Structure 1
Amino acid sequence: MSKVIEVVEQIVEPIVNDLNLELVDIEYVKEGKSWFLRVFIDKEQGIDIEECGMVSEKLSEKLDELDPIPYNYFLEVSSPGAERPLKKQKDYEKAVGKNVHIKTYEPIDGEKIFEGVLTNFTGDTVTVEVKIKTRKKTIEIPFEKVANARLAVTFS
């Protein structure tokens, strides 16, 4: 599966760059009996349906031409949504000051899940201010211990 993602990334990256968009993530997953290739794109002001359609059309043409995927699949191109995944270092840099949800590979201070405000990112360390009962605590998470992270929608 990761080989498919690598190949698709090489194909889609020039397409999104030409349209001044950002490639956020690619998923290639089997759900039930069907395979899905999901491409998530974005831009600073947010993405619209026409941009998703343009990327889908251009990517579909290239995929048909090169035929890098051995199975039949459904292609979906969309926005990453409000709970956008944080994959690259620049994603973390842009998320400073925002609410995040982070899972780690191993416990840090006895926990593996942290939700709070991303206060700093150095490239090596992710600093999150979490609320425990009525007080705030700052947690420093080594970047290599982050299993996955995303923006978190909070309701006040």
Structure 2
Amino acid sequence: MLKIVVEEKITDLLEEKFREDAFSECFLVDLKLHANNKLEVFVDSDFGITFETCQKLSRYLEQYLDEEKWLGERYTLEVSSPGVGRPLKLLRQYPNNVGRKLEVKLTDGEKRSGILKEVQESGIVLEEKVRVKDGKRNKTEIAEIEIAFGSIAEARVKVTF
């Protein structure tokens, strides 16, 4: 079966599942079908995704994959959260990351880094440390920078220890 058709069918199944009360806060972030019949499904939730939710979604999809044979007899299915290292793809992912450090690549190539302070309808507010001249010395100040969603090429959560 064609890769695009399988991806569309899986997307439709998940959208149907997300209409159920128990999964209404969930949403599909990304879906990738690899040449070796490995299907990766990345889901998230407005309040964070749990292992149990991923497990239930995996079993739900497996029943269709086993019955319909969309991927043949042998396949690998992985249902998980996108993980910290993956870029934020949907506006819906940003609120869960308020208070975390983001690295943002802008469409003009510029990079910004700071704490995600706020998510607005039109964009985000990052709290950045900026170096400014104070006489002969440089000093660090905190600035809040507004970035429109349309200006963001990629945003990633950075783990700090």
Alignment pair present for 1:137 and 2:139: no
Who is 1:57 aligned against? 59
- One-letter identity of the residue aligned with 1:147: A
Shift in Å, 1:104: 2.3
RMSD between aligned alpha carbons?
Answer: 3.2
TM-score, length-scaled by structure 2? 0.68
Encode CA deviations 1:71-129: one digit per residue, 9 max, x unaligned: x753211233345643333322333333222222223xxx2x32211122222222212
> Higher Cα Rg: structure 1 or 2?
2
Q: 5+ residue gaps in structure 1?
A: none
Shift in Å, 1:137: 3.2
Shift in Å, 1:62: 2.2
What percentage of residue pairs aligned between the two structures are identical?
31
TM-score, length-scaled by structure 1? 0.69
User: Is the 1:28–1:35 Cα contact (8 Å) retained in structure 2?
Assistant: no
- Distance in 1, matches of 2:128 and 2:16, equals 39
User: Is the 2:14–2:28 Cα contact (8 Å) retained in structure 1?
Assistant: no
Q: 1:116 aligns with which of 110, 114, 127?
A: 114
Shift in Å, 1:12: 1.4
Alignment pair present for 1:151 and 2:153: no
- One-letter identity of the residue aligned with 1:27: L
User: Residue 34 of structure 1 aligns to a residue in which SS?
Assistant: coil
